[in-house]
């Protein structure tokens, strides 16, 4: 199985999700999304596959998220692409779907 994780190595939940992927035996593509952020179109695709809205993928704890709480999808996606710290992490994609790894065990649904 192939898996892609949009990963922040400084985040404990992201590290836990990566450990789950490694234990599963998946072939893993690790994308440090703060250094190589996905664009708005890619984020829209990922959230669509996850069955969530961009607002649900927004890391609301970040100060930059506050002005986006009532924004439309396009505005949120553009803000995330411009400032990837706003993307809730970790975001994991496999052939079976996409999940935000909060809690990290949530990614087991797509393994």
Give the active site residues: 11
> How many angstroms separate the Cα of 62 from the Cα of each of 1, 66, 72, 109, 110?
33, 7, 18, 27, 27
By DSSP bridging, strand 27-32 and strand 2-7 are parallel
Give SS3 for 33: coil
Residues 46/97, Cβ–Cβ less than 8 Å: no
User: Cα(86)–Cα(33) distance, rounded to whole angstroms?
Assistant: 11
């Amino acid at each position: 199985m192939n898996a892609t994780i949009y990963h922040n190595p400084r985040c404990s939940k992201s590290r836990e999700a990566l450990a789950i992927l490694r234990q599963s035996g998946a072939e893993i593509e690790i994308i440090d999304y703060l250094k190589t952020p996905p664009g708005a179109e890619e984020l829209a695709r990922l959230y669509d596959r996850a069955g969530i809205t961009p607002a649900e993928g927004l890391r609301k704890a970040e100060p930059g998220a506050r002005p986006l709480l009532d924004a439309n999808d396009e505005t949120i996606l553009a803000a995330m692409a411009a400032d990837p710290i706003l993307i809730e992490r970790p975001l994991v994609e496999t052939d079976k779907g996409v999940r935000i790894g909060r809690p990290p065990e949530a990614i087991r649904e797509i393994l």
